[in-house]
Amino acid sequence: MSEHIFSDAIERVRRIGENAGVSQDVINALMHPQATLTATLPVRMDDGSTRYFTGYRCRYNNILGPSKGGIRFHWEVNRQEVQALALWMTIKCSVVGLPYGGAKGGICVDPKQLSAMEIERLSRAYVRAMADFIGPDMDIPAPDVYTNERIMGWMMNEYETIKRVKAPAVITGKPISLGGSLGRDDATGRGAYMCIRQLALKKGWDPKNITVAVQGFGNGGYHVARLLHNAGYKIVAISDSQGGIYSDKGFDVESIYKGKQQTSRVTALYCEHTVCELVEHQAITNKQILELDVDILIPAALEGVINRNNVNQIKAKTIVEIANGPILGDVDQIIQAKNILVIPDVLANAGGVTVSYFEWVQNKNGYYWTLEDVHQRLENLMNKAFNETWEIAQKEGCSMRDAAYTLAMRRLGSAIEAHGTQKYFSQ
């Protein structure tokens, strides 16, 4: 699948762009990543041997500003995947109206097989290889799958050591004590929650009647489940890489989170203070969780999980994409024909990059905001992006994904056209 993920991603841009009447100059510009660096990262392992890992960074497009995107540590990372993720970041930053282009990075590694010290050496090796490719005004990384704030702190420190300057704005998602922003930890889940709240207003939903399944219980999945549960939604299924749990009565999200911290897996628990007990549930697989008949399905793990093999089994009425690219482009039409409303990744998970942008602004100014301030600014931008997308979908009779891409491409188009297009130069 991952060999096709980039061609699938650019095909989607072409299809949506042409349907929306976006100029061919803009579509062409989005077909080509500006630069992708592949590097070998030698790392001294704890047993004294040296292992060689492959790292990537793609700066996809920077017409709207310095490029921005996370770094992923995963055994399936490859050049095609990184380029697809960088293209989606380009669209996403434009949907929310951030002054950023898109980028992405990653290392092909199973981080669960490495010690903490090996992960630190690998993180620093990545920055040594990429130090001239990234920078506070050029390309700004952040966390993604299996990377976290500690890793961002090591990476910032390595960059500053190489450049002999203090440069907190080179990376976002850092620990608060090293220049991170309040509110970055749950920003992705919170942004998705804000989209669901806007949708609930349009649909007149009563949260207690709305069932939700969440695939992936990491940074994005946990926080959206927590916020939805607190707002009264019924979280009936949760999974992580090892499998999932289902109960039509709904779960207490915080108890499951507590259990996962202790046992490293999702367990159907209900906890009162320090006492936890197992609650009635059914064990389900990651395939089954996607096929549940729920009101909202939230894929929050990896891309490509809804594809030609399972699209006909999908029964959810709404899909909120926290993962990047969970629905492959070649099944977009089938999903639409099934009348499933999709809040696309480029909108639903944009809360993360939005608060990363806030972190970068604070680092550049040396002036730090309160949590209330961050939440309010995030809400303003997410609600604006959601409603602008909704308007286009209503007016132009298209899906929310097509509307979000159209919005993004029109904004990118204004910048690209400002430099002159074929029409201007051939007059």
The binder of ligand NAD chosen from 16, 212, 228, 302 (CB under 6 A): 302
Size of the site for ligand NAD (CB under 6 A): 24
Residue 159 binds ligand NAD, judged by CB under 6 A? no
- Interface region with ligand NAD, contact rule CB under 6 A, candidates 33-41, 235-243, 335-343, 406-414: 235-243
The binder of ligand NAD chosen from 69, 259, 352, 413 (CB under 6 A): 352
Secondary structure in 3-state letters for the chain: CHHHHHHHHHHHHHHHHHHCCCCHHHHHHCCCCCEEEEEEEEEECCCCCEEEEEEEEEEEECCCCCEEEEEEEECCCCHHHHHHHHHHHHHHHHHHCCCCEEEEEEEECCHHHCCHHHHHHHHHHHHHHHCCCCECCCEEEEECCCCCHHHHHHHHHHHHHHHCCCCHHHCCCCCHHHCCCCCCCCHHHHHHHHHHHHHHHHHCCCHHHCEEEEECCCHHHHHHHHHHHHCCCEEEEEEECCEEEECCCCCCHHHHHHHHHHHCCCCCEEEECCEEEECCCEEECHHHHHCCCCCEEEECCCCCCECCCCHHHCCCCEEECCCCCCECHHHHHHHHHCCCEEECHHHHCHHHHHHHHHHHHHHHHCCCCCHHHHHHHHHHHHHHHHHHHHHHHHHHCCCHHHHHHHHHHHHHHHHHHHCCCHHHHCC
- Interface region with ligand NAD, contact rule CB under 6 A, candidates 129-137, 318-326, 371-379, 409-417: 318-326
Residue 122 binds ligand NAD, judged by CB under 6 A? no
Which residue's Cβ lies closest to ligand NAD?
218
Window 170 to 189, contacts with ligand NAD (CB under 6 A): 188
Window 239 to 258, contacts with ligand NAD (CB under 6 A): 239-241
- Interface region with ligand NAD, contact rule CB under 6 A, candidates 15-23, 95-103, 319-327, 387-395: 319-327
Residue 286 binds ligand NAD, judged by CB under 6 A? yes
Using the minimum distance from each CB to ligand NAD, give the nearer residue, 87 or 145.
Answer: 145
Using the minimum distance from each CB to ligand NAD, give the nearer residue, 94 or 349.
Answer: 349
Is 287 a known active-site residue?
no
Using the minimum distance from each CB to ligand NAD, give the nearer residue, 75 or 424.
Answer: 75
The binder of ligand NAD chosen from 215, 267, 318, 363 (CB under 6 A): 215
| Burial degree of 241 (CB within 10 A; 0-12, 13-18, 19+) | middle
Residue 217 binds ligand NAD, judged by CB under 6 A? yes
The binder of ligand NAD chosen from 225, 323, 328, 392 (CB under 6 A): 323
The binder of ligand NAD chosen from 120, 139, 144, 332 (CB under 6 A): 144
Residue 298 binds ligand NAD, judged by CB under 6 A? no
For ligand NAD, what does the binding mask look like between residues 21 and 60, x meaning CB under 6 A? ----------------------------------------
Catalytic residue chosen out of the listed positions 68, 104, 174, 234? 104
Using the minimum distance from each CB to ligand NAD, give the nearer residue, 83 or 215.
Answer: 215
Binding site for ligand NAD (CB under 6 A): 143-146, 188, 215-221, 239-241, 286, 300-302, 322-324, 349, 352
Active site residues: 104
